[in-house]
A and B are shown apart, each in its own frame.
Chain A
Amino acid sequence: MASPTPPSPVGERRKPSVLEVPFGVNEVRLNGPQWLATFIILLVVILLTPRLWDKVERFETGPDYRIPYTLSKDYWLYHRRLTRVSDKKKIIVLGDSVVWGEYVLPDGTWSHFLNREAGGKDRFINGGVNGLFPLALEGLIHYYGQPLRNQKVIVQCNVLWMSSAKADLSTDKEEPFNHSRLVPQFFPRILCYKAEATERLSAIVEREVGFVSWGNHLQNAYFGQQSILTWTLAEDAGDPPRYPNVRKNPFSQITFSVPSAPPNDPLRGPNSPRHKSWETAGSPTRFDWVDLDSSLQWHAFQRLIGILQRRGDDVLIVLGPFNEHIVAEENRPAYRKVRDGIALWLSQHQVPHVVPETLPSSLYADASHPLTAGYELLAQTLYKTESFQQWLKSP
């Protein structure tokens, strides 16, 4: 076997050539036309694959559909969902886990009861995502919410995100949080977000390049929210752990059908042990409310309204339903100051909004999530509100 390289220490000294060095030891050496061909093929693949996938992959939604909890970070799917419901007759309800329905089943959500109030039509669409907060919601709608144009949109404003510097993400100490790929990566600065530059830039690339988002969709939908390579090495919960995927063909995992949520979710719904009033285990709490002027979450919410309005959406803000009962008596004025401050800003900027009455204490599961009956009552009261009806009837 001929070796073009210098001899080993065993060999004799050889005069090395000065500038002539071999290219390498493989034949992946493309010339200009070959690179051009590669570029064209890649461009076609990158542009067409997500579109073709949209046609090929089954995505069954139906009434009361919400993005399954396990697919919360599948933003490509979220975009696809919004594309499907972009219809002037439909009203998209945007928000965090309050809209999504953390403690309830799909038929116990706010949008479900709004539809019931509207006469059973599938008019209100659950656009909530579990784990979101205004900074992430802004990113989600900015980068993946382009289909939302000239449409009626309800945005739920959860003041819980301004209830402490930690919730507001305005602390200096590093805080892990959900959906970090949606938040502003460089500006405005989130001090408690300490990701390295490469991670931040990856997030930006993912938002901008549909093919990468689609790749993440595959990971979310078929590979348990991990890369395909990591999936092959995933371990079970045994001790010692076993590795059930090592013999599996990764490609056989791709079933061309978006997984749906389990029909009987044991963690949610009236039969779940979590579905109980906060009063059974909690007591009033003192919140360290942040100043609205310096609140990152509130500023993000303001920007979110701007994004939707610029896209021609008819936006209605629902400020609540926050559980005032959980707020310690002496702390309530501070809460009301925040709530009223938000309402004042919305009024000043002529943003239609509703501030629903606080629900009865027993209908809350925690500081902001209602139980099934709470959502029902909220939908009923909201539907009866004059300003809501006016907004609904406006062209």
Chain B
Amino acid sequence: MLFHTWPFLIFLLIVLPVFFALRKTRLWLPWLAIASYFFYGWWNPYYLLLVAYSTTLDYFLVAFMDHCPREKQKVDVLARLTRLRFQDRFLLVGFVTSSLAALGLLAVALAGPLTLRPAMLGFDLIMLLMALGALFSSRRIWLIISLVNNLALLLFFKYARFLVENLNAALSWLHATVHLPDPSALMPYGFAYVLPVGISFFTFQSMSYTIDFYLGNVQRERNFLRFATFVCFFPQLMAGPIERAKHLLPQFHQFPPIRLQNFTDGASLFLVGLFKKLALANYLSFYVERVYDRPAAFGAPALILATIAFGWQIFFDFSGYTDMARGVAKLMGFNLILNFNNPYLSTSLGEFWSRWHISLSSWFRDYVYIPLGGNRGGAFKTYRNLLLTFLISGIWHGAAWTFVIWGLLHGLGVLVTRELERSAFYRERVPKLLKQGAVFMFVSFTWIFFRADSLHDALFIVQRIFTGAWQDPQIPMLMVALVAMVWLYEFLYESQFRPLLKTAVVRVALAVFLVIYLCLCSSGGGAFIYFQF
């Protein structure tokens, strides 16, 4: 169910009144959870199990973690194993049930249907680790289980095919006779092997909770329903923003205050998001697809313009989704974090990443870059950590070499602009507009690797941009005018003329224009690009 479709409107028209009607009861939270599960199940009801599984496991892992001492204590493992002598009954129950479950799962894996074996062995491993966690009363083990589980889900559904294909290619290059089977063979009972929508988002959100609890940044959430709603809150379930427990969970503790401003702000955000998606992103995609589907048929100007158009397309698509998500949440009185802040006005790549997909970049900053050492430990380690962070960020976006290169290019770009920023000449003498232009061009260049269907295509496009003939790019003037208008608006927003945009006349005129334009010129549906991640 996509935000810009009629079924979503009907869904919202049912969810919102019931939500508000339940405000004086305790049922508003279960209602929100049910609505969120329905929203996700609309896409594929089977994968609801995946969200439910990930949620339940992380909920209990944190509960177990909560029962383990923060400081390292000596544990009499032998006494625990032989006489089940646990100081904490919760850990005892955890140890016994997970041990029994591990045995049961092992039995099913060995004696049960063959189709269930891989999944059962996977669950068995988790149960064994849980038994170990309880046995050693180790918070770290509980954290590792959460990380292993969430990353294994991602690895299997998102990266397994890519890994298998590359391993098979390497094996055949080595003339080995071994050939790894396609991961779809591991799916039980012939279930389709498809990437569950939003898996990268809800696993990251759930993981952030366990990590934050481990680090002592958040309290344990004892209410399972509240935690489940936090993980699957429908406005941001599919494509973020990736919320932190510290920010979103407290908002589910009591019914949000009903204010007119929530409705007016929510509607404003939703309208702008809808316009970005339907009128801009979808329109740009027509031109981008035409050129990128047959790059050999186009000259350098068309390839350059299609690449720039893709940069705007993905921005409008993703930020449009986020605006709609934030708008829907706001209608109910919840605040989701800002995810985009006019990124194409950045003067450095570091700044770009503080304006683009803010929730993801801050996630990587807090859970990858800083744990790796951050900028502590000298320039070499800082640069290594930065490159690693961007490499992982690239892989997060997709299972292909093009994403790896895209991530590395951004990592290198950050290093270079960071060094440039150190020089007084660059900092003080180079005009801001030039810096903005350079950042925009570099980011646009990297989009080639993000958008191209294969590494071969990407390299071909890069080569053709520099060597191809200068033919008429045949880009519609209307498209150029629309993007120029948006860019101009962003410039005005960040300039001294911003008060002009705040006047009631401009606001109303813009809203009227957006609605009429949507009615007459929008170009149908189309899923959001970031759903594939």
- By a CB distance below 8 angstroms, the chain A residues around B515 are 38, 42
Contact A201 B261 (CB under 8 A): no
Nearest CB in chain B: distance from A198 CB, A? 4
Q: From the candidates B354, B375, B389, B476, name the one contacting A6 in the complex (CB within 8 A).
A: B354
- Say yes or no: A247-B477 contact (C-beta < 8 A), given A1-B345, A3-B351, A13-B366: yes
Is residue B287 contacting chain A, with contact meaning CB distance below 8 A?
A: yes
| A27-B501, A34-B507, A243-B474 known; A215-B519 Cβ under 8 A | yes
Give chain A residues whose Cβ lies under 8 Å from the Cβ of B390: 9
Residue in A6, A197, A227, A240 whose CB lies within 8 Å of B297: A240
A27 touches B476 (CB 8 A): no
For residue A389, CB closer than 8 A to chain B, the reply is no
Does A27 contact B493, Cβ atoms closer than 8 Å?
Answer: yes
Q: Could you tell me which residues of chain A, from 178 to 205, have a CB within 8 Å of some CB in chain B? A: 197-198, 201-202, 205
Does B210 lie at the interface of the complex (its beta carbon under 8 Å from any beta carbon of A)? Answer: no
Nearest residue (CB) in A for B386 is A9
Cβ contacts under 8 Å, A245 to chain B: 476
Q: How many residues of A are counted as interface, with CB atoms below 8 angstroms from the partner's CB atoms?
A: 58
- Which stretch in B3-11, B167-175, B230-238, B450-458 binds the other chain? B3-11
Known contacts A42-B516, A227-B523; A8 and B272 CB within 8 A of each other = no
Contacts of A45 in B (CB 8 A): 512, 516
Complex contact A18–B250 (CB within 8 A): yes
Q: Is B341 part of the contact surface with A, judged by Cβ < 8 Å? A: yes
Q: Could you tell me the distance in whole angstroms from the C-beta of B289 to the nearest C-beta in chain A? A: 10
Within 8 A of B (CB), among A1-28: 1, 3-13, 16, 18-19, 21-28
Q: Does A264 contact B (CB under 8 A)?
A: no
Question: Within the complex, what minimum Cβ distance (angstroms) separates A382 from chain B?
Answer: 44
Name B512's contact: one of A12, A22, A29, A42 (CB within 8 Å). A42
Minimal beta-carbon separation of A107 from chain B (angstroms): 37
Contact B508 A21 (CB under 8 A): no
Tell whether A10 pairs with B362 under 8 Å between CB atoms, given A30-B508, A233-B476: no
Q: Once A and B bind, how many residue pairs between them come within 8 Å at the CB atom?
A: 192
Given contacts A10-B418, A23-B269, A38-B508, 10 further A-B contacts (CB under 8 A): A1-B432, A8-B350, A13-B366, A25-B340, A27-B498, A27-B501, A35-B511, A42-B515, A197-B7, A212-B519
Name 16 A/B residue pairs within 8 A (Cβ), A-sorted.
A3-B354, A3-B355, A5-B341, A5-B354, A6-B365, A9-B369, A10-B418, A24-B326, A26-B493, A27-B502, A37-B508, A38-B515, A45-B512, A229-B522, A230-B523, A243-B474
Q: Which of B's residues lie within 8 Å of A, judged by CB?
A: 2, 5-7, 10, 244, 246-247, 250-251, 260-261, 264-265, 267-269, 271-272, 279, 282-283, 286-287, 290, 297, 323, 326, 335-338, 340-342, 345, 347, 350-355, 358, 361-362, 364-366, 369-370, 375, 386, 389-390, 414, 418, 432, 474-479, 489-490, 493-494, 498, 501-502, 504, 506-508, 510-512, 514-516, 519-525
Tell me the A residues contacting B by CB distance below 8 Å.
1, 3-13, 16, 18-19, 21-35, 37-38, 41-42, 45, 197-198, 201-202, 205, 211-212, 215, 218, 227-230, 232-233, 240, 242-243, 245-247, 249-250
